[in-house]
A and B are shown apart, each in its own frame.
Chain A
Amino acid sequence: MEQNRNNILSVKNLEVKFKVRDRVLTAIRNVSLDFEEGKVVAIVGESGSGKSVFTKTFTGMLEINGEVSNGEIWFEGKNLLENKTDEEWMQIRGKKIATVFQDPMTSLNPVRTIGYQISEVIIKHQGKSKAEAKAEAIELMERVGIYNAEQRYDEYPFMYSGGMRQRIVIAIALACHPKILICDEPTTALDVTIQAQIIHLIKDLAKEYGFTTIYITHDLGVVANVADRVAVMYAGQIVEFGEVEEIFYDPRHPYTWGLLSSLPQLGEKGNELFAITGTPPSLFEEIKGDAFAPRSEYAMRIDFEEEPPMFKVTDTHYAKTWLLDPRAPKVEKPKVIQNLHEKMLALTAKGGIYGEH
């Protein structure tokens, strides 16, 4: 993909391997991706596609049996993978690149007060005094939407609801004014109404604090809401990357087609929902050709023999499928996702719900 001077983070030819018992699993297979400053990138894919592993490499948080076996991650003029010690990583992790995880209960310490956990970070990273840290923590709590922040400062995580806890995790992440905020399924464990609020909050804060957001999610509805750009991951690779409208209205990779087609919103009662058949390939074995080919009804002979390159669709849109080769037969995307916007509009405009009342 093309070079851009506004890139805040640049990943080149990344490969990540895990040792599981005596076998080696390749979780990330030669991935390159640029993150432009201020643009929200959403990474979509099913579990096991490597989306979390991919972003964990930015902060050196791979599990102990995992290692980056190849590639570079450029951030602020430095290849992060040259970091060896934990001290070096501490300059990045949390401080410059912070992560909000899925389950707020496991990211908070149950035996420490909420206030302690926020001020701890401020004291450690900004070198402020206890009193200053407390004042700033309360301000942050208010900023993420906690009422009576001063009273709730001394409460424990169990006294907070799931949504409130996630707000605290976000407050902690923001305490160091990070340049990049990685949100790893931040709303998957939450109710839809709370999810809408948290997403909204992250968007507001991104504007206010000027951080770049990387969203990891499997919910295409969330993607449509938050993302400027979308990277679709499958079996440890990015198979399609583009502006959010390009991915939803003009998808090119059969896997992206499959993901969109299986949306329950597109299901018609009485008819079967489209389902992607089969399972993702085992990453223990070497994958030949297009990893999605065995599950794809559009697979051609070459898909089983040779790995497709990233074809360019537009300056911002790339897809890794042989269907884009000039020699390939012309294939249209499945009927069910043609006119997606019209179909969704029809669902929402009915009776004027979704915002018109």
Chain B
Amino acid sequence: MSTNNEKEVLLSVRHLEVTFYNNKKRFRAVKNANFDIYKGETFALVGESGSGKTTIGRSIIRLNHTSDGEILYKGKKINGKLSKAEQRDVIRNIQMIFQDPAASLNERATIDYCVSEGLYNFHLYENEEDRERKVDDVLNAVGLLPEHKSRYPHEFSGGQRQRIGIARAMVMEPEFIIADEPISALDVSIRAQVLNLMNKFKKERGLTYMFIAHDLSVVRYFSDRIAVIHKGRIVEIAPTDELFNYPLHPYTLSLLQAVPMPDPQIEKAKELVIYDESKRDLSGEKPILQEIRPGHFVFANDREMAEYREKLKEMIAFKKEHPTND
């Protein structure tokens, strides 16, 4: 897990900057983001609303302009100026699943059209029969019936609509899927169904996911590595278990703290921790993302690095003393 050397890098984000302009005001939504996503893994990007997590996702599928840096997909640059053919390639191979299934489906189109839209745009079918077969197959795979094809999105429940959203992405046979909070709008009992479905596709088709979320509890179960983002800045990246065992950045800690645990005794004993950047000691040189343990990166300067190393030692010692907790 920690040595990623042999793994194939599918997507690589280098010094990514995304800036929005509002009249003359400049807003840096993403600040110098760096990370790699390996083939076959689920990479989670976790942060609050406004942290820039969705902006990164949208930049990858070219919905947002990048102002600096590079996004490499299989070693080829996919941001900035591209030829028409290259653009089409990106759009086809990288699909996105959106948060609100009601808003992402055309309410005036039948499910048949919603799912086939990508096939039409890219002529990914030999004849009408072939298209129908593809649509039927994918609907079947997400647990819907062929007779649903003639219906409209409003006739479905939230969970079903999200499955249509997934079908729409899957029918394109993508290699890489960006899932932007795909279960946030869903009921608890349906969340498990959608997560299981996404995992099934990952196993069967060797997909790679970038999972955008604000809730660490879901991410723990679902992802292989996690990046925590705060105000456009990635503050910590680590394999899932590592991040949960040894969270270092104070913002990561406050995020972990904030997730309510389904256990009354733990919850009632919990104290509220609010992360306030202005109250932190930010002296010393500019922090950068540095590797503290293999595969575990944290945004820090040298002074903070020393602190985190100390803390890490404590945590490892604590774990040795309490092995039953493992």
Contacts and interface: CB of A to CB of B under 8 A. Distances in A.
Q: Do A and B come from one complex?
A: yes
Interface of A: 46-47, 162, 191-197, 199-200, 218-225, 227, 244-245, 248, 258-260, 262-265, 267-269, 272-276, 279, 340-341, 344-355, 357
B223 to A, nearest CB: 9
Interface stretch (B5-13, B115-123, B317-325): B317-325
Given A273-B196, A350-B245, A265 B188 contact: no
25 contacts: A46-B188, A46-B190, A192-B214, A192-B215, A192-B259, A221-B260, A221-B261, A221-B267, A225-B264, A245-B265, A259-B188, A259-B189, A262-B189, A263-B188, A264-B217, A264-B221, A267-B222, A344-B261, A349-B322, A349-B325, A351-B315, A351-B318, A352-B314, A352-B318, A354-B256
Contacts, number: 166
Interface residues of B, number: 58
A275 B199 CA distance: 13
Contacts of B261: 221, 224, 265, 344, 347-348, 354
Interface stretch (B171-179, B246-254, B291-299): B246-254
A35 B31 CA distance: 51
B306 interface: no
Count chain A CB atoms within 10 A of each CB in B216, B245, B263, B268 and give the residue with the most.
B263
Given A352-B318, A353-B247, A357-B253, A224 B267 contact: yes
A225 B222 contact: no
Nearest to B186: A47
A227 B268 CA distance: 9
Interface stretch (B76-84, B127-135, B271-279): B271-279
B221 A273 contact: yes
B192 A344 contact: no
B274 A351 contact: no
Given A248-B263, A344-B263, A352-B315, A279 B275 contact: no
Given A191-B48, A192-B255, A224 B264 contact: yes
Nearest to B213: A192
Contacts of B262: 220-221, 223-224, 248, 260, 263, 265, 340, 344
Contacts of B254: 193
A196 B258 contact: yes
